[in-house]
A and B are shown apart, each in its own frame.
Chain A
Amino acid sequence: MEKIEYIRPDTIEEALHLLSNPTTKNKILAGGTDIMVQIRIEPPDYDRFVDISRVPEMKQIKIDNGKFLLGAGLTHEEVASEPSVLNIIPFLAQACSSVGSPQIRNTGTLGGNIGNAAACADSLPVLVCLDAVACLRSESGERMIPVSELVIGPHKTQIGKSELITHFSFPLPPMNTKSRFIKIGRRNSQSISRLSIAAMGKIGEGGLIDFIRICPGAATPQTKRFTDVEDFLVGKPYDDKLFAQAGERMAAKMIEFTGIRWSTKYKEVALKAITERVLREVLSSNISVAYPDNQYPADKDSRI
């Protein structure tokens, strides 16, 4: 292995300056849980690590003006144990707790999970479900890109060489929204998602579904909300038959995107089943917390 240099900036500005250097091939290092594995498989095409794991601004958690902001440098463990996440968007905590093992969750980061862009990244369907936007900064400025567009396909992103994901932001879901993440893996711990699903929703007055979001993970090359299925569900009453129909539509939509693949026989049945399960859980009446007591939204009119 060629010797790789190492540098650790203290601020985002300093990191961006280092990344802007055109003569050095940099690799952003946060938790290192993917990089340190890749480095053993193929020779690195970079000659310097820029370790951003100790930049305090990368770990911010903020709720401001109806928006939730999460620093890209937060570890899975930090996200999963954050009270406001557990209250407002527990499915993100569920996704982060299902990543790897305690060891991996203590080091791996949210930004790394998205930036590495594995098709099976557990936080990806949740952030897409939330309509999260990634803030990409470089020395020449910043741009906000929806996470659904940032990750183009497996291990492919729109992140430029001198750009850093600093944080994710998304609008707060409406009050009383319930959310759930379900993952199917080959074992409980250390498992790579075969398939997952993220959903959030709520039943409005009159017992009709008035808000629903649904996004499967590891199902399509680009992770997207299945808005056709959301539209199909909205305005209808809670009904097991309806969820079964939604499951069929989810599976059909997935095949529309991917065509028939070797895994389709399995994924078609599995996606149908987890769609039904996630809808039942998200839309059942025993709503836990979606911020009633903690009064999170600064902007009461915030609606997605």
Chain B
Amino acid sequence: MKIGFVLNQKNISVDVSPDITLLSLLRDHLHLTGTKVGCEIGECGACSVLLDGKLVNSCLVLVPQVEGREVITIEGVSAGEGEASDLQKNFISAGAVQCGYCIPGMVMAGEALLMKNLHPSRNEIREAISGNLCRCTGYQQIVDAIEITAKERSERK
């Protein structure tokens, strides 16, 4: 089945079986391995991407469902040529990254929040990342990283 959509601001067209997930398309067919495979049942958030600006689990989305829509993955978040974005840099400086496996999903959850709210409370940040599991950090530093980025971005505006 031919499916066209916008991926990280580029129009693309793929020809794949209609019963595969967006996660599988991204990793196995397009080799965008920044999006991680975790539980594959919508619990861990490691595969989170933005679909029309909304945070979704790519393991629960069928590829034909994205036809004509816009998908942003972690590869579309980084600032320019492989350069880390401000949010990603803050993840590093706040010590929010240990094993790193959940981080692409966490960054997507952070971006989804910051797109609609540049003045989130810590509780709102916790709520925004509540669908993303991290077994290393205890979450505090992740909340810090998003909070710092929110502050910086709102000051820049």
Asked if B57 and A51 make an inter-chain contact with CB atoms under 8 angstroms apart, the answer reads: no
Indicate whether A56 reaches chain B with its CB closer than 8 angstroms: no
CB nearest neighbor in B for A6: B18
Asked if A100 and B41 make an inter-chain contact with CB atoms under 8 angstroms apart, the answer reads: no
Asked if B130 and A188 make an inter-chain contact with CB atoms under 8 angstroms apart, the answer reads: yes
A177-191: which residues lie under 8 A (CB-CB) from chain B?
188-190
B: interface residue count bin: 20 to 34
CB nearest neighbor in A for B130: A189
Residues in A whose Cβ lies below 8 Å from that of B128: 102
A255 to chain B, nearest CB (A): 32
CA–CA, A4 and B18, complex, Å: 7
Indicate whether A146 reaches chain B with its CB closer than 8 angstroms: no
Interface centre among A1, A32, A53 (most CB of B within 10 A): A32
Residues in B whose Cβ lies below 8 Å from that of A8: 64-65, 67
A29 to chain B, nearest CB (A): 7
Type the 1/0 row for B63-74, where 1 means its CB is closer than 8 Å to any CB of A.
Answer: 011010000000
Asked if A5 and B60 make an inter-chain contact with CB atoms under 8 angstroms apart, the answer reads: no
CA–CA, A103 and B60, complex, Å: 10
B5 to chain A, nearest CB (A): 13
Asked if B130 and A102 make an inter-chain contact with CB atoms under 8 angstroms apart, the answer reads: yes
Asked if B55 and A36 make an inter-chain contact with CB atoms under 8 angstroms apart, the answer reads: no
Asked if A190 and B131 make an inter-chain contact with CB atoms under 8 angstroms apart, the answer reads: yes
Indicate whether B19 reaches chain A with its CB closer than 8 angstroms: yes
B103 to chain A, nearest CB (A): 16
A93 to chain B, nearest CB (A): 14
Asked if B130 and A37 make an inter-chain contact with CB atoms under 8 angstroms apart, the answer reads: no
Asked if A32 and B65 make an inter-chain contact with CB atoms under 8 angstroms apart, the answer reads: yes
Residues in A whose Cβ lies below 8 Å from that of B96: none
Asked if B60 and A37 make an inter-chain contact with CB atoms under 8 angstroms apart, the answer reads: yes
Residues in A whose Cβ lies below 8 Å from that of B152: none
Given contacts A37-B42, A107-B56, A190-B43, is CB(A100)–CB(B65) below 8 Å? no
Residues in A whose Cβ lies below 8 Å from that of B18: 3-6, 49
Q: Number of residues in A with C-beta < 8 Å to the partner? A: 27
A27-65: which residues lie under 8 A (CB-CB) from chain B?
29, 31-33, 36-37, 40, 49, 51, 53
Asked if A102 and B64 make an inter-chain contact with CB atoms under 8 angstroms apart, the answer reads: no
Given contacts A3-B19, A5-B18, is CB(A36)–CB(B131) below 8 Å? no
Indicate whether A244 reaches chain B with its CB closer than 8 angstroms: no
CB nearest neighbor in A for B112: A102
B89-139: which residues lie under 8 A (CB-CB) from chain A?
109, 112, 127-128, 130-132
Asked if B109 and A33 make an inter-chain contact with CB atoms under 8 angstroms apart, the answer reads: no
B19-62: which residues lie under 8 A (CB-CB) from chain A?
19, 21, 40-43, 45, 48, 51, 54-57, 59-62
CB nearest neighbor in A for B60: A36
Asked if A102 and B60 make an inter-chain contact with CB atoms under 8 angstroms apart, the answer reads: no
Residues in B whose Cβ lies below 8 Å from that of A51: 62, 64-65
Residues in B whose Cβ lies below 8 Å from that of A77: 54
Residues in B whose Cβ lies below 8 Å from that of A33: 42, 57, 60
A1-35: which residues lie under 8 A (CB-CB) from chain B?
1, 3-6, 8, 29, 31-33
CA–CA, A88 and B51, complex, Å: 30
Indicate whether A302 reaches chain B with its CB closer than 8 angstroms: no
CA–CA, A135 and B45, complex, Å: 34
Indicate whether A158 reaches chain B with its CB closer than 8 angstroms: no
Chain A contact residues, CB within 8 Å of chain B? 1, 3-6, 8, 29, 31-33, 36-37, 40, 49, 51, 53, 77, 100-104, 106-107, 188-190
Given contacts A4-B19, A37-B41, A103-B56, 19 further A-B contacts (CB under 8 A): A6-B1, A6-B18, A6-B62, A6-B64, A8-B65, A36-B61, A40-B41, A51-B64, A51-B65, A53-B65, A101-B132, A102-B130, A103-B42, A103-B48, A103-B131, A106-B51, A106-B55, A190-B43, A190-B130
Chain B contact residues, CB within 8 Å of chain A? 1, 17-19, 21, 40-43, 45, 48, 51, 54-57, 59-62, 64-65, 67, 109, 112, 127-128, 130-132
Top 5 A-B pairs, shortest CB-CB distance: A101-B131, A189-B130, A6-B18, A4-B19, A36-B60
A-B contact pairs, 6 of them (CB 8 A): A6-B19, A102-B128, A104-B131, A107-B56, A107-B57, A190-B43
